[in-house]
Amino acid sequence: MDQVTTHGAPAHGLEPAHEHAHELGFWRKYVFSVDHKVIGIQYAVTGLLFLLFGFSLMMLMRWQLAFPGRPIPLIGGWFGADKAPGGIMLPEFYNQLGAMHGTIMVFLGVVPLAVGGFGNFVMPLQIGAPDMAFPKLNMASYWVYFCGGVVMLASFLAPGGSAQSGWTSYAPLSIVNQGAQTWWLVGMIFLITSSLLGSINFITTIVQLRAKGLSYMRLPFFVWAQFVTSFLLLLAFPPLEAAGILQLMDRVAGTSFFMPSGLVVSNKIVTTMTGIAAPGIASGGGNPLMWQHLFWFLAHPEVYVLILPAMGIVAEIVANNTRKPLWGYKALVYSVVFLGFMSFIVWAHHMFMTGMGTTMSAFFQTTTMIISIPSVVILTALLMSLVGASIRFTTPMLFALAFLPMFGIGGLTGLPLGLAPSDIHLHDTYYVIGHFHYVVAPGTLFALFAGVYYWFPKATGRRMNDLLGALHFWTSFVAINLVFFPMFIEGLAGMNRRMYDGGAQYAHNKAVLHWNVVQGYAAWGLGLAQLFFIVNFFMSIKWGKAVDRNPWEATTLEWSAPSPPPHGNFLTEPIAYRAPYEYSVPGAAKDFTPQFEPERA
Amino acid sequence: MHSDSESVRKSIRLYLTIGVTLLIFTALTVAANRFHFIVPIAIAVALVIAVIKGSMVASVFMHLNHEQRWIYGALALTVFFFLVLMSVPLFTILDSIGTEVHAVAVEHAGGH
Amino acid sequence: MDMNIPYTVEHRPDTGLANGKLGIWLFLGSEVMLFGALFSTYIILRVGAAEWPHGELNIPLGAINTAILICSSVTMVLAWASLKMNDWAKHRIYLVTTVVLALVFLVNKYFEYSAHFASGEVPAHTTFLAIYFTMTGLHALHIIGGVIVMSYFLGPGAKLWKKNPEQFANRIEYTGLYWHFVDLVWIFLFPVLYLL
């Protein structure tokens, strides 16, 4: 099947004698490990657990939206009188769920899984490195993330409940709010620090530790995606860290970075008109818009952090299961780099409704339209890769194929949001929620599932069950579309987001209110569908079909390592002899020619 | 190679010279402050002097005058986005529609 | 326990870099964006303010602190240079001097802050004071961070000089890069906050 030549120098990580004189104890091997594979699995499992938790928060919200004012069944008594007296969700609790659902999904779920999990585990293997450039820093990144997660979870128990001003934490509400917004800010500082440390590691590793023969244009697209993602994290996160410090100062030290003059809350004067603090009253003179600028300066590149690793995963799986090279590799690489660059100069398309004049509005609309071009190029290249292919409908491929039209819908529905005239009607409606969930949920999340099914054999030496995989896919695919597609209908009818009664208080929503019930059942169905995955995941660790190094007959370097790879990854020094997707090379004996084989078979 | 023993020894003099120059420029910055320029000029003068001082620190102390391309590339990217961060929020806030409300200028000595 | 990661000390031929050099510069890039956001906030607050205070800050003390940091940058680069010339004793003297200068800077800041607090000039009082305390406060935290790292290299970290002198010299170089950056931020902070 696959031949791995065993001649050649011993790989860097396994140079004989010295370090491994003693076996590492349990804690250093499995908990405080500096091995990128262990850290990657830690990130992935923690990320998956947070995704499940964040999803549960949403399932609670869906009850209130479908049946406003009705006591939550079965578990309604769990939340206490300050959150859900008699099991009926208070508006404040709804807002807590909403803010934390967004925060947890984005910062504790998707990014740690996509970047910390897949990036850490796969990338060093795909570039033929023995580990990351800074293994101890890698371990530190995970534990700082973990601490941030603990702070975020603990905030639910604070008096006043958790943060409840949206994941966007707009001032001045976030500053005057009585919930644990301060904990949220502290948690974010942990999470941002973790990302920064991780991004330094990723970039240095990709630049410095590529194997012999692995030039930049021979890198798997997954590595390019992680590379660009890391630059986004490195340069876009610090302004939010600064903004977090400023908001902390406003809440804790009484400053007015974001508190405007003359603010009145519940008939009480909160800031002076003069810009000079009086006893018990903050100075004012701040600018709430500055929070939005600093927040979105990060949060827009952040959405590309959410999608780029997913595109990378889909690209790998598409190439492998079409048995063809990716169509337009060069176009993919140039597009993803251009996309990363543009992502820094579009952010205020989230702020069209803040009183922006026509000049800056035109600037941001233009950059936003320009950035859609590389996205379309990437999607087109992936679709063109299917033309003339002999497709293998493996479980990863099912999810990867679904990603394509789902991302298409998500991307296309972004266009009327990026143009100010149409955004006037759609901003802060359910249309926006439908748009971004299509990209992240049936988009990124499906890609991440695909990645789990695809690389599970490399990490464990066993395959996941195909029948359960297919059941997971089809039930999820139907349910997820039933959850999110009606949001476009609701949004176009003018239904506002973040309303705890599901919009029932506005007459113009009457005609579309019934969709809330449909979405509720679909969401709970989607939750049940994940049981197929959870059972499959744990079952297969113990009882999955055992596989050798390259069960998918793939071409990239990670498949030359044992499954699972040992400490140091490769038994002999990995060398890349050719481009990453040499499938179905004319004249070759088998339908794939791996990067790591010296001669064509 | 710029960091072998011999070339480092030759650089010692340069480090000390730059150090003294930086101290002189600091004195210049404080002196310029006494000239009560109108605000745009004052800002320009202060920034020019600071950029000169910063360039000396970056190129000599931080060895940027003989660094590698990857470092220059990463820094160029950073500088570009830094400039975006300095200018674009300002332009956006200045280019606004609607009626603006400013903090009121106050009469001094405790009155309000 | 650490495996042999290539290019930790020797330079990778095509990039001409050791891993740590690239890593520290990437980190400094992120720091530029961190302080950049605060400078951007300063600009917005000042443009939107009806009046901006002058004369509240101690210019002579700020100027002295600027001079102190500049001197500490000189001693820091000399601490690295001494290692490259194999002079361990000089390296120790210069590194200790850098730490001492940093501590003097912090002591001066302590006196400055105390004086402000005593006369009711607290961060909550005006946006000027808010941005002054936040920017100099974050800068001071960076100074403390630098002092901690340098103390480590004066203390337990110094053992690496015996085991792998080139790697130790590199680490001092990277510490120096961080320290020069901290100095660079102050070169801009001083005129912007104290003089303009």
Residue A505 lies in a domain: yes
Angle at A399 between CA A395 and CA A404, to 5 degrees: 145
Within 8 A of A199 by CB-CB distance, chain C residues are: 26, 30
Question: Average pLDDT of A121-127?
Answer: 98
- What single DSSP character describes residue A257? S
Q: Residue B112 — very low, low, confident or very high, per pLDDT cuts 50/70/90?
A: very low
> Do strands A268-269 and A264-265 pair parallel, antiparallel, or not at all (unpaired)?
antiparallel
Q: Which chains touch C (3 or more CB pairs under 8 A)?
A: A, B
Q: Over 60: is that where the pLDDT of A13 sits?
A: no
pLDDT for res C98 = 98
Question: Average pLDDT of C74-82?
Answer: 97
Residue A114 lies in a domain: yes
Shortest distance between the Cα of C172 and any Cα of chain B, in A, equals 12
Give CA–CA dist B112/A114, Å, rounded.
55
Percent with pLDDT over 90 in chain A: 92
pLDDT for res A280 = 87
pLDDT for res A432 = 98
Q: Over 60: is that where the pLDDT of C144 sits?
A: yes
Angle at B36 between CA B33 and CA B39, to 5 degrees: 95
CA distances, A598 to each of A3, A154, A417, A492, A593 (Å) = 10, 54, 50, 58, 10
Residue A511 lies in a domain: yes
Residue A523 lies in a domain: yes
Within 8 A of B106 by CB-CB distance, chain C residues are: 51
Question: Average pLDDT of C24-38?
Answer: 98
Task: Judge whether A345 is closer than 8 Å to chain B, CB to CB.
Answer: yes
Give CA–CA dist A102/A106, Å, rounded.
6
Residue that is written with structure tokens 């919009």 in the block: A503
Task: Judge whether C9 is closer than 8 Å to chain A, CB to CB.
Answer: no
Mutation for testing the C interface, residue in B2, B9, B11, B15 having most C CBs under 10 Å = B15
Residue A508 lies in a domain: yes
Q: What is the pLDDT of residues A574-594, one digit of tens each?
A: 999 999 999 999 999 999 999
Give the nearest chain A residue to B109 (CA atoms). A276
Q: How many CB pairs under 8 A join A and C?
A: 156
Q: Six-digit token pair at A133?
A: 């450039």
pLDDT for res A6 = 40
Q: Six-digit token pair at C147?
A: 């002092």
Question: Average pLDDT of B19-42?
Answer: 92
Strand (E) or helix (H) holding A265: strand A264-265
Average pLDDT for chain A: 94
Strand (E) or helix (H) holding A264: strand A264-265
Q: Over 90: is that where the pLDDT of B99 sits?
A: no
Mutation for testing the C interface, residue in A23, A208, A245, A256 having most C CBs under 10 Å = A208
Helices (H), A464-513: 466-492
Predicted ipTM > 0.90:
yes
Within 8 A of C73 by CB-CB distance, chain B residues are: 19, 22, 57, 61
For residue A458, the enclosing domain spans 30-259+284-560
pLDDT for res B33 = 87
Task: Judge whether A38 is closer than 8 Å to chain C, CB to CB.
Answer: no
Residue A575 lies in a domain: no
Within 8 A of A297 by CB-CB distance, chain C residues are: 37
B74, B90, B106: residue with CB nearest C44: B90
pLDDT for res C1 = 38
Give the nearest chain B residue to A261 (CA atoms). B103
Average pLDDT for chain C: 96
Q: Residue A295 — very low, low, confident or very high, per pLDDT cuts 50/70/90?
A: very high
pLDDT for res B81 = 97
Whether B95 and A284 lie within 8 Å, measured CB to CB: no
* Spatial CB neighbours of A418, under 8 Å, sequence gap ≥ 6: A346, A349, A365, A368, A369, A372
Q: Residue A11 — very low, low, confident or very high, per pLDDT cuts 50/70/90?
A: low
Within 8 A of A273 by CB-CB distance, chain B residues are: 103-104
DSSP output for A266-329: TTEE-B-SSSS-BTTBB-----HHHHHHHHHHHHHHHHHHHHHHHHHHHHHHHHHHHTSPPTTH
Percent with pLDDT over 70 in chain A: 96
Give the nearest chain B residue to C55 (CA atoms). B33
Q: Six-digit token pair at B64?
A: 């940027």
Give the nearest chain B residue to C170 (CA atoms). B3
Cα dihedral C82, C83, C89, C92, rounded to 10, equals 90
For C19-195, which CATH superfamily applies? Cytochrome c oxidase, subunit III, four-helix bundle (1.20.120.80)
Q: Residue C45 — very low, low, confident or very high, per pLDDT cuts 50/70/90?
A: very high
Residue A580 lies in a domain: no
Within 8 A of A14 by CB-CB distance, chain C residues are: 3
Give me the residues of A, 254-293, that contact C with CB < 8 A. Answer: 254-257, 275-277, 282-283, 285-287, 290, 293
B11, B74, B90: residue with CB nearest C29: B74
Question: Average pLDDT of A259-278?
Answer: 92
Q: Residue A3 — very low, low, confident or very high, per pLDDT cuts 50/70/90?
A: very low
Give CA–CA dist A199/A360, Å, rounded.
31
Shortest distance between the Cα of B54 and any Cα of chain C, in A, equals 6
Task: Judge whether C27 is closer than 8 Å to chain A, CB to CB.
Answer: yes
Q: Over 80: is that where the pLDDT of B6 sits?
A: yes
Which amino acid, one-letter code, is at C91? Answer: H
pLDDT for res A22 = 60
CA distances, A414 to each of A82, A408, A492, A507 (Å) = 38, 10, 13, 27
Within 8 A of A203 by CB-CB distance, chain C residues are: 22, 26
CA distances, C40 to each of A260, A289, A350, A454, C46 (Å) = 17, 12, 19, 45, 10
Shortest distance between the Cα of A239 and any Cα of chain B, in A, equals 9
Q: Over 70: is that where the pLDDT of A7 sits?
A: no
Task: Judge whether A527 is closer than 8 Å to chain B, CB to CB.
Answer: no
Q: Over 80: is that where the pLDDT of A262 sits?
A: yes
Within 8 A of C171 by CB-CB distance, chain B residues are: none
Q: Over 70: is that where the pLDDT of B110 sits?
A: no
Give CA–CA dist A10/A332, Å, rounded.
34
The enclosing domain of A325 has a CATH number of: 1.20.210.10
Q: Which of A309, A188, A185, A307 is nearest to A258 (CA)?
A: A185
Give CA–CA dist A172/A93, Å, rounded.
19
Q: Which chains touch A (3 or more CB pairs under 8 A)?
A: B, C
Count of domains in chain A?
1
Average pLDDT for chain B: 88
Q: Over 50: is that where the pLDDT of A550 sits?
A: yes
pLDDT for res B5 = 84
Residue A10 lies in a domain: no
Burial class (CB in 10 A: 0-12, 13-18, 19+), B76: exposed
- What single DSSP character describes residue A118? I
Shortest distance between the Cα of B65 and any Cα of chain C, in A, equals 14
A186-208 in b/e burial notation, b at 16+ Cβ within 10 A?
bbbbbbbbbbbbbbbbbbbbbbb
Q: What is the pLDDT of residues A173-199, one digit of tens each?
A: 999 999 899 999 999 999 999 999 999
DSSP output for A4-59: ----SPBPGGG-SSGGGGS---HIIIIIS---HHHHHHHHHHHHHHHHHHHHHHHH
